[in-house]
Amino acid sequence: MKRILFIICIGLIMTQGLSAITANEIIQKIEENENLSSISEGRFEISDNLGTRVTTFKSYEAKNGDLMLEFTNPEDAGQKILRLENEIYLYFPDAEEIIHLQGDALKDRVMGSDFSYEDLRGGESILDKYSAELDGTETVDGQECYKVILTGKPGAKDIIYPQQILWVDKALFAYRKGELYSYSNKEGSYTLIKNMVVKEIRTISGKSIPFHMIMTDTMKTNSKTVFKLKSMQIDIKIDPAIFSLEELTW
């Protein structure tokens, strides 16, 4: 009888081991969830010491990661951001010119928000640039999450944040919370510079989409950006011409 119980226990342990998910698999599932084409409308509520202002936008995103973001509120109407692979271009209708952002300019804040242009960059998989480590599970807003630590790989280029800590919903494989770090003055350590909290996730056509997100910049006083989607259409046909430099000037 003891032998039978021992064999059963060993079998359960082996089954649990085989079914355990790895940090890399979690990241891959996140990227699978984010691989979609979409048209959406939303807003940024940008708050700082001067008060709060609202910008609205319409965005188009292709499955390959190309993105066109057009601002629609009266003050910023016609301003556009285009992401092609890992490159960012801006268009300002008053100046009637296209600006290719490079270098330190990518650290600038999008419309004065707590999101930088670097945050909009696409390109490679996260796992091409980061090593991923699973640091157990934690509960965020009542939802059980995987806690994943991403650390930039030596020699990897264009790393926005050398370390990130992400809390990933175990059921939806979507972010619930994130901490973004830069290098500190002390070798081998990091400084928290941004906090991200997702307040609402909606499921559309099997995809888990953050509809309400808050980003705060820990290096600035009273700095907060609330991101809200009003609507989103998924996996619909989008004219490829939208994702072109020519389209920026229309």
Quick one: pLDDT at residue 15?
A: 41
CA atoms of 113 and 154, how far apart (whole Å): 30
CA atoms of 147 and 210, how far apart (whole Å): 18
Q: Where are the domains of the chain?
A: 29-248
> In whole numbers, what is the pLDDT of the chain averaged over residues?
89
Quick one: pLDDT at residue 16?
A: 43
Average pLDDT per block of 10 residues along the chain, 250 residues long: 47 48 97 94 95 96 93 96 91 90 88 91 84 97 97 88 97 97 86 97 95 95 95 93 87
Quick one: pLDDT at residue 250?
A: 74
State the virtual CA torsion across 111, 70, 162, 63 in degrees, nearest 10: 170
CA atoms of 101 and 91, how far apart (whole Å): 11
Collect contacts of 61-67 with beta carbons under 8 A, ≥24 apart.
61/36, 61/37, 62/37, 62/238, 62/240, 62/243, 63/35, 63/36, 63/37, 65/122, 65/123, 66/122, 66/243, 67/120, 67/122, 67/243
Q: For residue 191, what are the CA distances in angstroms to 37, 178, 180, 188?
A: 35, 14, 8, 11
pTM over 0.85? The answer is yes
CB-CB neighbours of 45 under 10 Å:
15
Quick one: pLDDT at residue 3?
A: 52
Amino acid at 153: K
Six-digit token string for 123: 């390109």
CATH code of 29-248, in short, is 2.50.20.10
pLDDT digits (tens, 9 = 90+) for 61-119: 999 889 999 999 999 999 999 999 889 999 999 888 899 998 888 889 999 999 999 88
Quick one: pLDDT at residue 123?
A: 66
Q: Which residues contact 233 (CB under 8 A, 6 or more apart)?
A: 38, 39, 40
Alpha helices in the chain (DSSP H): 2-19, 23-34, 126-129, 245-248
The answer to whether the CB of 26 falls within 8 A of the CB of 198 is no
Six-digit token string for 154: 């030596």
CA atoms of 125 and 196, how far apart (whole Å): 20
